[in-house]
Amino acid sequence: MVRCRCQPKYITKREMDPVETIINEMGEKVKGCLRAFFERGEVRIEDAEKELGQAVSELMLEAVGAYCEEKGRELLADKKRRRAEGLCVERRREGRVVQTLLGELRYERTYYRKKDGTYRHPVDEIAGIAADQKVSSGVSLALVVEALESSYAKSSKRVTGGRVSRQTVMHKIRSASPVPLPEGERRRVPVLHVDADEDHVHLQSGKTA
């Protein structure tokens, strides 16, 4: 497996524009990954698909996480802006994990209390993530589509590697908005066959029926 360890000291000091710094850091790490892969001497397409694909996904998640944390630091340092928005620091360095199609997005942010008694995570808002959201909208859609042809457990395994529960898949299906289909020719049939892929139902009492 290709591991990215390239992190030059001269660009991690973040003396330039934060976004440009993140881009430069990720660019150096991508070059390090590619160099380590090709220096092995044996290049196989199957290995490139698996190892480089995973390495790039991890780097993209690292870049997005770094961007979110940088925006959080900017807000924390901008006292004038915080006063204008009525934000008081409640807790710092709260961790956040969101399952995405690329893998787990992780970052830390500051929890703020507003003057009206409500609470906010501004960095979550910047990232477009709701307070109780554990999976991205892309993962939610993929889980629902996959569950149309397979079980909840298989849907979770194929989309997230089993990182979300069957209950999460069920909730995503129930909360999905049905798409109206265009009306076609209606036919009457003498017999309608219904196939069920389960022969038992788990009840809330713990029994099955």
Q: What is the percent of the chain with per-residue pLDDT over 90, rounded to a whole number?
A: 38
Question: How many CB atoms are located within 10 Å of the residue 175 CB?
Answer: 9
pLDDT digits (tens, 9 = 90+) for 166-185: 999 999 988 887 767 677 78
Banded pLDDT at 10 (limits 50, 70, 90):
very low
Residue 130 has pLDDT above 80, yes or no: yes
**Maximum average pLDDT range among 5-19, 81-95, 176-190:** 81-95
Check the CA dihedral 7-8-10-11 and report its sign. Answer: negative
Query: Residue type for 20, please?
Result: E
Mean pLDDT over all residues of the chain?
84
d(CA 5, CA 123): 27
The answer to whether 38 and 60 have CB atoms below 8 angstroms apart is no
The answer to whether 73 and 107 have CB atoms below 8 angstroms apart is no
Banded pLDDT at 92 (limits 50, 70, 90):
very high
Q: Report the pLDDT averaged over residues 72-84.
A: 93
94: left (phi over 0), alpha (psi -120 to 50) or beta: beta
